[in-house]
Structure 1
Amino acid sequence: MSLLAVHDLAVSRGGLRTVEGVSFTLRGGEALILRGPNGIGKTTLLRTVAGLQPPTEGGVEMAEDAVAYAAHADGLKAALTVTENLRFWSAVFGGGPVGPALAAMDLAALADRPAAALSAGQKRRLGLARLMVTGRPLWVLDEPTVSLDADSVARFASVVRAHLAGGGAALMATHIDLGLDEARVLDLTPYRARPGRAVRPAGFNEAFA
């Protein structure tokens, strides 16, 4: 059974289609990496799959409350400690204990440090650790390794592998080779929309494009 099914999807940014006719499925244990030149619509497609903006055409099928989304913002509360941030997100999502997430992203030594006092790389590791406490089976990730050094990239790749081994799935856009040999790659270049196709779907809000 698929965790995610995308059918003939077209998405838009700024009232113009970026890609169209995209179809794929993701089952538990599978990862799919989106590739393509800057501006082709990888972020827009991920936001559409995550439910943050409506599709222009086609559809996205998944179980309710299946997705956890991580993009460029780390989603942290600066005044809370590392542990408190993870407990907050665990409570929001009804997820699990935070200890495994602290260990997996090498944050145990920083557990009592306020998020405001973290470096950019530490904040990114904490932002990604949030995924582990959501309990959501489908991770949708937009350039998740920004600000990470090589060791942290390898650590995060191990986290993704463990998620897949546990029956989860991951859809991501990344320029970094995570060493996920089992991941499929989807190049969006052949799905680039024809020039000048202006579309303004019902309910479309350009502020969220």
Structure 2
Amino acid sequence: MSELLRLDRVACIRGDRLLFEGLSLALARGDALWLRGPNGAGKSSLIRLVAGLLRPAAGTVEHRERVALIDEAAALDAELPLRRALDVWARIDTVDGQAVTRAMADMALAPLAEVPVAMLSTGQRKRAAMARVIASGAPIWLLDEPANGMDDAAQARLVAAIARHRANGGAVLLASHFALGIDDLAELDMGALA
């Protein structure tokens, strides 16, 4: 089956506030869905629901393959040099070092391999987080504001990585304030669900 992700009548409550309800969607291989809308509309909450970090108030979330997540935290050990921090995740994801090497090249990080994660700029940390997602080999990418802090060149690398992932049968759920110039991108206005 080409479908990787399905949400059926999902509702999300944060605190005492209903963010959305009755949300159903599916992502198949090669799909990309842009979650757009104002702050507080539930974009990040939906990403966290799909990642399994939040429970839906109602409905079901099913994914048939592994997921990889970018959110506000880079999830890399700040004390380690970048390459070693990415290698830790490679062991967790059971991928070889070549996957990390390729992902670092994709995000132009090879010159920063020995720099401690704590010393990276905001944009470099976002590129490092994206390299972690790329190297994971997960078919479903959950990207919450992945381009924050990235310059134009880094954003172009991000868009190219997303295109390769989709061409190889992966799916992307993207929360962002702007579309990033991604081709054939479906949209869901989270603000309209409130």
TM-score range with shorter-chain normalisation?
Answer: over 0.9
When normalised by structure 1's length, the TM-score is 0.88
Task: Give the residue type in structure 2 aligned to 1:145.
Answer: A
Distance 1:187 1:116 in 2: 35
Asked whether the 8 Å contact 1:30–1:164 carries over to 2, the reply is: yes
- Residue correspondence of structure 1 range 8-157 to structure 2 within 5 A: 8-63=9-64, 66-96=66-96, 97-157=99-159
Total equivalences in the alignment: 191
Q: Unaligned 5+ residue runs, structure 1?
A: 193-209
Percent identical residues: 42
- Deviates further, 24-33 or 95-104: 95-104
Q: Which residue of 1 aligns with 2:176?
A: 174
Task: Give the residue type in structure 2 aligned to 1:90.
Answer: A
- Secondary structure of the residue aligned to 1:98 is helix
- Residue correspondence of structure 1 range 194-209 to structure 2 within 5 A: none
- Secondary structure of the residue aligned to 2:162 is helix
When normalised by structure 2's length, the TM-score is 0.94
Distance 1:36 1:120 in 2: 23
Distance 2:61 2:73 in 1: 24
Please list the CA deviations of residues 163-187 of structure 1 after superposition, one character each: whole Å capped at 9, or x if unmatched. Answer: 1111100001111332112110011
RMSD: 1.2
